[in-house]
Amino acid sequence: MGAGQRRAEDAARRAVPEPRTKGELEVGTNGEGEVVVIHPDIDADKDGVAHIVFSPAPARNFAATLVKKAAEAEAEVVPSSAQRRP
């Protein structure tokens, strides 16, 4: 692992709060203008990386996609008011 990667990971650890519940995603910034997402159940790869780093625009796109997919998932299991009527 290079010094730059180590600095980024150290910054990510400082910036990201401890998860409130087991399995909860941790999200923070690394002090270099990037968003860091850590999933506590993902093991580090061969290079010691266990997080995803996004620049701001892709982070916003990812967030919007998550919101859209969450709504779709809810619609799959929660019937709409029209579907509940006999």
Report pTM: 0.60
pLDDT of residue 54: 96
pLDDT of residue 72: 94
Residues in contact with 32: Cβ distance below 8 Å, sequence separation at least 6, in sequence order = 8, 11
pLDDT tens figures, 8-44: 566 655 555 554 566 688 899 999 999 999 887 778 8
pLDDT of residue 51: 87
The Cα–Cα gap between 57 and 37 comes to 14
The Cα–Cα gap between 66 and 63 comes to 5
pLDDT tens figures, 50-86: 889 999 999 999 999 999 999 999 999 877 665 555 5
